[in-house]
A = this chain, B = another copy of it.
Amino acid sequence: MQRARGFGEVLRARGLRRTAQRELVLAALADLGHATPEDIAGRVQRQAPDVNLSTVYRALDALVEVGLVARGHLDRAAASYHLVEHADHLHVLCEGCAAMAEVSSAEASALAARIEELSGFAVDVRHLLLRGRCPACRESPPGS
């Protein structure tokens, strides 16, 4: 359970370094849950105004590469990131109002098993983002 220590090790194991910026990005993600690069940069810059947006992008790439962070895809123009340790549930995004629900990823394990049986593909359901409509928006269809 020593996140901070494991963090440095995991990076070093791949020839990457532990830096203040990368820690700030992790802290921002822990704080925000899931967020876009810009959200993360904003949060980080409250503590370190000089951290550049491109550094956030590069930090996110590094953290995804070592497996500490996962990338989602909210819509065509906005990537979404979250901590892997925070990813024991899948997200359902409402296409009407952008509300987000969370469901245990265990619910999807049967589907994952079936897909593997049928296609041989290993699906990682821990980082799954589904789209749907929340109870309130179900009454007002998309093209109304």
Contact = CB atoms under 8 A, between A and B. Distances in A.
Interface of A: 14, 65-67, 71, 73, 75-76, 79, 92, 94, 101-103, 107-108, 110-111, 114-115, 118-125, 127-128, 130-135, 138, 142-143
A117 to B, nearest CB: 10
Given A107-B115, A110-B110, A138-B122, A130 B132 contact: no
A111 B115 CA distance: 13
A123 B133 CA distance: 7
B143 A67 contact: yes
A122 B133 contact: yes
A103 to B, nearest CB: 5
